[in-house]
Every structure is written in C-alpha cells, then in structure tokens.
C-alpha cells in the first residue's frame, strides 16, 4: 500500500498552505515540547524531552505544518498522536491545533487520517479522552462511553509505590 496515499492533501488556509506528514521518526521532541507549551496545552505542561522520546517510540506522531509553497518543513501548527495495540483498541492522544489556525480544518484532517492510518491495525474501536473538546469528536462517530462499555479507572505511580506494587 502506498503510504503517501493516506496522507491528507495540503490544506489551503488564509495563513498559507498546511501540509501533513507522519513525523514519528524525524520530529524533534524539543519542537513538540515548545509547540505544546506555546499552545498552553495543560495535559502536556510537565512532559520532559525524555518523555516525548518515549511517547514517540510507542506511537505515531501525525503533524500539520504551515509551509512555504513547494517546500517541506515549516512551522508546526497541528499534531495528533496515535497509539494502538494493533488488535483490539487504538487511542488518539494530543490532538492540538495552533490557536491562530483553529477552525481551518487542520484537526479534522489529522483525526480522519489517524482513524484510517494502517499502523493502527485491525482494531475493534478507537478511544480518546477530552475535557474541553467533546463537541468536536461526534462528527467522527465518537460518543460518550457508558458504564456498560467500561469504567475508566486510573491509579497513580505514587499510590502503587505505597502499596509496594512498583
């Protein structure tokens, strides 16, 4: 399968052309950290460069860049991370668009691309978590889970350590 076939077509915006790329293996983790901090993404505020490297090692980083015509590279203006167990479940993480380019279709293209990305494998479902963008995701078929689906549970490492489990 031609991987480039799946990459969204460049998107024309009032700010210029936005090109999409799978930058899992060549994005600079420092650039990701700077982008997410500049966009004040609360859930990534404390991520270190080492954590960004580990995240990239186990997932795919799909990006959107505002690029000069006919060139690659350019300003990072959107990103999403795709994780998968390749058999049952895939998860979308870190869907972010630069504030000055919101409403231009960048996040829509990134999410659609992640949902059809062959790296996810033949999973039965895609999941995500959001606190502030719940109205965005139903257009792709996402809905609130119910207790019949599953319960979302968490435990912190500090608690595990207190229990002698780590």
Kindly write down the DSSP assignment for every residue of 75-98, as one continuous string: EEEEEEEEEE-SSSEEEEEEEEE-
CB within 8 A of 105, min separation 6: which ones? 11, 13
Query: What integer is the mean pLDDT of 101-105?
Result: 95
Residue 1 is predicted with a pLDDT of: 44
pTM, two decimals, is 0.86
Quick check: 64 pLDDT over 90? Answer: yes
112-148 per-position pLDDT tens digit:
999 999 999 999 999 998 888 989 999 999 988 776 6
How much is the pLDDT for 156? 78
pLDDT (0 to 100) of residue 83: 96
Query: How confident is the model at residue 2, as a pLDDT?
Result: 47
Give 115: exposed, middle or buried? Use CB within 10 Å, 0-12, 13-18, 19+. middle
Lowest mean per-residue pLDDT among 58-72, 99-113, 139-153: 139-153
Contacts of residue 17, Cβ cutoff 8 Å, sequence gap at least 6:
10, 11, 66, 67, 69
pLDDT tens-digit profile of 116-126?
999 999 999 99
| Whole-angstrom distance, CA of residue 96 vs CA of residue 41 | 8
What are 79's two structure tokens? Answer: 């990103």
- Residue 32 has what pLDDT? 95
How many beta carbons lie within 10 A of that of residue 150, not counting itself?
A: 9
pLDDT recorded at residue 161: 85
Number of C-alpha atoms within 13 angstroms, CB side, residue 65? 21
């Amino acid at each position: 399968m031609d991987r480039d076939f799946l990459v969204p077509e460049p998107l024309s915006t009032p700010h210029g052309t936005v090109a999409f790329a799978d930058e899992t293996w060549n994005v600079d983790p420092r650039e990701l950290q700077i982008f997410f901090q500049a966009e004040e993404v609360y859930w990534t505020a404390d991520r270190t460069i080492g954590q960004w490297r580990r995240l990239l090692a186990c997932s795919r980083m799909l990006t959107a860049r505002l690029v000069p015509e006919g060139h690659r590279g350019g300003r990072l203006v959107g990103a999403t991370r795709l994780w998968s167990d390749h058999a049952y479940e895939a998860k979308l993480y870190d869907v972010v668009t630069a504030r000055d380019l919101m409403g231009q279709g960048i996040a829509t293209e990134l999410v659609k691309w992640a949902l059809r990305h062959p790296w996810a494998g033949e999973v039965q479902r895609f999941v995500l978590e959001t606190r502030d963008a719940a109205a965005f995701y139903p257009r792709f078929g996402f809905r609130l889970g119910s207790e019949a689906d599953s319960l979302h549970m968490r435990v912190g490492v500090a608690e595990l350590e207190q229990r002698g489990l780590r």
